[in-house]
Amino acid sequence: MSYEIKTIDKFSYVEEGEGDVLMLLHGLFGALSNYRDQIEHYKLKYKVVVPLLPIYEMSVFEASLGGLTRYTHEFIELMNYNKMVVLGNSLGGHIAALYTLKHQEKVKALILTGSSGLFESAMGTTFPKRGDYQFIKDRTEHTFFDPTMATKELVDEVFDICNNRLKAIKVLATAKSAIRHNLRDDLEFIKVPSLLIWGKNDTITPAFVGEEFHRLMETSELHFIDKCGHAPMMERPEEFNKIVDEFLKKVG
């Protein structure tokens, strides 16, 4: 399934459906394809918006969690979105939480899945020697409980990013800034209804991370999905969407 990528000013995004806004924020190595099942499922009831975060297009000096959060804020202001449901995976969850902390009047509900912000273990602090395809394949498979989810197409995408020196520098800069910006002291101030969905077998942001988010966010509910890794919306989309559906019924 392909979608029209719209552009306005410096922003590129996908917008499908009509109704209240459901914004989906992808992670550091994420892409539009990460949310294919959610776009198809929710475009019948919501205006599903997926901004394409400019992780590889930003200048080296802007490449950071803060830069991506500002970019998201500017996009929302330009589009005049209000009372959104914001859903983020991995780094996208970190951005969603930061945005919500500063603009709770804009956010009706927050959904985090495998979010960074407390603890994460991904590529480490350095990249492998350029051209090490097997390493990238292994790390991409490591994202999922079922390694066959790491298709050749997906591995090739990650490999191309890691094998491009400038992109690799920006990825590292963004990842390091996310690690520095820990949310432990801030999460208690999120007061909007929040849903946490975690893969029980997540090795990047393990189950205890989801439990800690839940402990720190008094308005949150936590759900685990068994036999599932770091990207539940990709690996177990039907179960993921069912949990989200029930939550959205509660928040109206």
Helix boundaries (H) for 142-191: 152-162, 165-180
Strands 194-199 and 220-225: parallel
Show the DSSP H helices in 19-64 as ranges: 36-42
CA distance 222 to 231: 15
**Domains held by the chain: number:** 1
pTM of the model: 0.93
pLDDT along the chain (252 residues), means of 10: 91 97 93 92 97 91 92 98 97 98 97 95 54 86 93 90 87 89 96 98 96 97 98 98 97 88
Asked if residue 211 belongs to a domain, the reply is yes
- Which of 49, 9, 5, 212 has the alpha carbon at shortest distance from 115? 212
Nearest to 76 by CA among 47, 51, 102, 42: 51
Q: Which two tokens stand for residue 225?
A: 């999905």
Q: What is the pLDDT of residue 37?
A: 97
DSSP bridge pairs for 198: 224
CA angle 129, 130, 135 (to 5 degrees): 65
Instruction: Decide if 177 is inside a domain.
Output: yes
Residue 160 lies in a domain: yes
DSSP 80-139: T--SEEEEEETHHHHHHHHHHHH-GGGEEEEEEES--SS---SS-SSPPPTT-HHHHHHH
Residue 83 CB neighbours (<10 A) = 11
- DSSP three-state, residue 67: helix
Residue 145 located in a structural domain: yes
Give the model's pLDDT for residue 187: 97
Residue 190 maps to a domain: yes
Q: What is the CATH number of the domain that holds 59?
A: 3.40.50.1820
Is position 47 within any domain?
Answer: yes
pLDDT on residue 124 = 44
Is 130 within the bounds of a domain?
yes
197's tokens: 């969905």
Provide the residue range defining the domain that includes 41: 6-251
Is residue 1 included in any domain, yes or no?
Answer: no
The alpha carbon of 126 is separated from its chain's Cα centroid by a whole number of angstroms, namely 22
Pick from 148, 233, 169, 250: nearest CA to 198: 233
Look at the chain and count its residues.
252
